[in-house]
Structure 1
Amino acid sequence: MRLSTVILPIYRWHDEGREVWRRAQELGFHAAYTYDHLSWRTFRDGPWFGAVPTLTAAAGATDRLRLGTLVTSPNFRHPVTLAKDLITLDDVSDGRITLGIGAGGSGFDATTLRGKDEEPWNPRERADHFDEFVPMLDQLLREPSVTWEGRFYVANEARNIPGCVQRPRLPFAVAATGPRGLKLAAQYGQAWVTTGDPKLFEAGTAEQSVAALRGQIARLGTACEQAGRDVSALDKILLTGFTPGNPLQSFDAFVDFAGTHFDLGFTEIVVHWPVQDSGFALDTKLFERIATEALAQFG
């Protein structure tokens, strides 16, 4: 069982950023992730920094904490340039990077690199890009030279020397709930990520959410079986904040929530670093108590 955090890339490094990431390590979190977006929801009109430079700086400010994205997507990434950034990050951090990766969404920054009148990719288009993005990135991170000509992406002798510190490559945590994404998680993932069932967030119940997550894990198991993998070999990561109710309303509420989801088979629960005056507002003392004491409740 692991407990991790997401630190939004909103902090000026020399004002608060460095100390926030250092504090995450001091609190004993397994990993600290950040969103890989160009902007996001209610934070669109405030500071929002790049994920890769932020993680590079965090790697220099910490020495034990795992670092990563939750999540990177094809919405504005190309496998070749992303692979180069990831290999560099893995080197700077001495092998502490996990790539959270997903198909992306349709809102916020999904059309930033598209024409003014262009629509965001629909779900099928996102899945089509993801189907090519993941195996190409896998190859780029494993091999010193890659030539690839696909439907969406091209590489001509893309060089990636010396490769990742972590061998054969840094781990992928694949965010997926649909059949095509779960197939990719089963084939290429070292971990699987979910936020729950988005249809239940506003009007659903905790019981419905647990049932939906149980179903997702069952479908992941089927995908792993079809891929010839043991589903127990994949870490299962739940990013909180998008399921019904508020598991962070008290220490006991979080312990109950964590226990229920660990029993479902999740191996890592991720909580957002508190951001006051936002949807991620939380008393700092409660947050730090959860970070330092919650896992001890499970023996």
Structure 2
Amino acid sequence: MAGTAVRLGVLVLPEHPGPEGVRPWRVAEELGFDHAWTLDHLSWRTLRERPWFDAMTTLTAAACHTGRIALGTLVASPNFRHPVVTAKEAMTLDHVSGGRFVLGVGAGAPGPDGAALGGPEPAAAGRATRFEEFVTLVDRLLRQPVTTFSGRFYTAEDIRMIPGCVRRPRLPLAVAATGARGMRLAAGLGDMWVTIGDAGVPGGQSEAEAFATLRGQLDRLTRACRSAGRPPGDVRRLVNLSRVVAEPYGSPERLADLVGRCAELGFTDVVLAYPREEGVFAGDMRAFEEAVTRVTGVTGQRGSD
């Protein structure tokens, strides 16, 4: 991005069917975004009865129709994923994309996804424990050609991960976390930390309250990194701005101001939601393009699809 150290990303919901489903990803690359993400759920909130596709397959298609932009999950969780299969898919996507894939992971929230594997859905403490084991095993699988592991939740016996990731020792992990245990995990194993602000009420705080929440979270991450003996600057810090404030691209000036405020707090990466015609993340595409191109420094007209 021109004029700032912050990398700008976009969230594209996995709802676009058919061959035209790759269009938003090409647009994102043409607009100068540094990275593009999709949600990894079986269904999501108010869109449960609408078309909704698999995240890994969606990103594979995106990888085949782009050449520069980084691609990732925001975020995969153990609610319905096993770490062995997740790691194999991530390694594969890393190769398909030519080393552009980022595996975003989170503990998962209560809801339909949590019941997909059967059995009782764990409470918050149980999800945190399961998530820690999930990330630990994914990390090992992606780092070494053969892994054997026996834990409370997962077992892996003589699992091959050949040829391994394009990037060594493994592709980047982006860890979504707000609690103390998750922050420690991000500080210990994460290449990036992810937040949507107050996860209990996404977008429900005033702008002043939201930025105060983000400031507090960044302070806790810094303390977690220092406790882990890791320089805080080693972990990139990403905020999904469209889950934090309203109309983040209402004007080019507003987006530039918000990105600047995030940078001042210490964020290295800011994500916006790709505009939808209605409902969640509804927005005007022309305003989106105008604001984003002002911030990214891209000039000229996008090519036709």
Superposed pair shares fold, TM > 0.5: yes
Question: Is the Cα contact below 8 Å between 1:200 and 1:208 reproduced in 2?
Answer: no
**Displacement, 1:183?**
0.3
SS state at 1:130 partner: helix
Aligned to 2:175: 174
Task: State the alpha-carbon separation in 2 of the partners of residues 197 and 181 from structure 1.
Answer: 14
Q: Residue type of the partner of 1:222? A: R
Structure 1, 218-227 or 99-108: larger mean CA deviation = 99-108
**Displacement, 1:114?**
2.1
**Displacement, 1:43?**
1.3
**Displacement, 1:295?**
4.3
Q: How far does the alpha carbon of each residue in 1:134-185 deviate from its partner, in whole angstroms, 9 at most, with x for none?
A: 1111000011100001000001100001100011100001000100000000
Q: Given the alignment, which residue of 29, 47, 50 partners 2:51?
A: 47
Within 5 Å, give how 1:132-171 maps onto structure 2.
132-171=133-172
Residue ranges of structure 2 left out of the alignment (5+ in a row): 1-5, 298-305
Change (3 A) 1:199 1:40: closer
Q: Residue type of the partner of 1:7? A: V
Task: State the alpha-carbon separation in 1 of the partners of residues 154 and 201 from structure 2.
Answer: 35
Within 5 Å, give how 1:136-285 maps onto structure 2.
136-199=137-200, 201=202, 203-285=204-286
SS state at 2:15 partner: coil
Question: Is the Cα contact below 8 Å between 1:205 and 1:245 reproduced in 2?
Answer: no
Task: State the alpha-carbon separation in 1 of the partners of residues 165 and 203 from structure 2.
Answer: 41
The answer on 1:12 being equivalent to 2:13 is: no
Within 5 Å, give how 1:12-91 maps onto structure 2.
12-14=17-19, 16-91=20-95
Task: State the alpha-carbon separation in 2 of the partners of residues 249 and 29 from structure 1.
Answer: 18
Q: Residue type of the partner of 2:131? A: F
**Displacement, 1:234?**
1.0
Aligned residues: 292
**Displacement, 1:207?**
1.3
**Displacement, 1:53?**
0.9
Question: Is the Cα contact below 8 Å between 1:250 and 1:286 reproduced in 2?
Answer: yes
**Displacement, 1:65?**
0.9
SS state at 1:279 partner: coil
Structure 1, 238-247 or 71-80: larger mean CA deviation = 238-247
Task: State the alpha-carbon separation in 2 of the partners of residues 10 and 295 from structure 1.
Answer: 26
**Displacement, 1:243?**
2.0
Q: How far does the alpha carbon of each residue in 1:196-235 deviate from its partner, in whole angstroms, 9 at most, with x for none?
A: 0135546532112111111111110111001110111111
Root-mean-square deviation (CA, aligned residues, Å) is: 1.4
Identity of aligned residues (%): 48
Task: State the alpha-carbon separation in 1 of the partners of residues 177 and 123 from structure 2.
Answer: 16
Q: Residue type of the partner of 1:105? A: A
Task: State the alpha-carbon separation in 2 of the partners of residues 5 and 247 from structure 1.
Answer: 12
Change (3 A) 1:159 1:216: same
Q: Could you tell me the TM-score, scaled by structure 1's length?
A: 0.94
Aligned to 1:131: 132
Change (3 A) 1:203 1:149: closer
Task: State the alpha-carbon separation in 1 of the partners of residues 202 and 137 from structure 2.
Answer: 33
Residue ranges of structure 1 left out of the alignment (5+ in a row): none
Task: State the alpha-carbon separation in 1 of the partners of residues 59 and 217 from structure 2.
Answer: 30
Task: State the alpha-carbon separation in 2 of the partners of residues 136 and 198 from structure 1.
Answer: 25
Aligned to 2:99: 95
Task: State the alpha-carbon separation in 2 of the partners of residues 8 and 245 from structure 1.
Answer: 18
**Displacement, 1:278?**
1.4
Task: State the alpha-carbon separation in 1 of the partners of residues 290 and 141 from structure 2.
Answer: 41
Q: Residue type of the partner of 2:124? A: P
SS state at 1:198 partner: coil
Task: State the alpha-carbon separation in 2 of the partners of residues 28 and 202 from structure 1.
Answer: 26
Question: Is the Cα contact below 8 Å between 1:200 and 1:209 reproduced in 2?
Answer: no
Question: Is the Cα contact below 8 Å between 2:236 and 2:268 reproduced in 1?
Answer: yes
Q: Could you tell me the TM-score, scaled by structure 2's length?
A: 0.92
**Displacement, 1:275?**
1.1
Structure 1 residue runs of 4+, over 3 Å off?
A: 198-203
Task: State the alpha-carbon separation in 1 of the partners of residues 205 and 137 from structure 2.
Answer: 38
Aligned to 2:8: 3
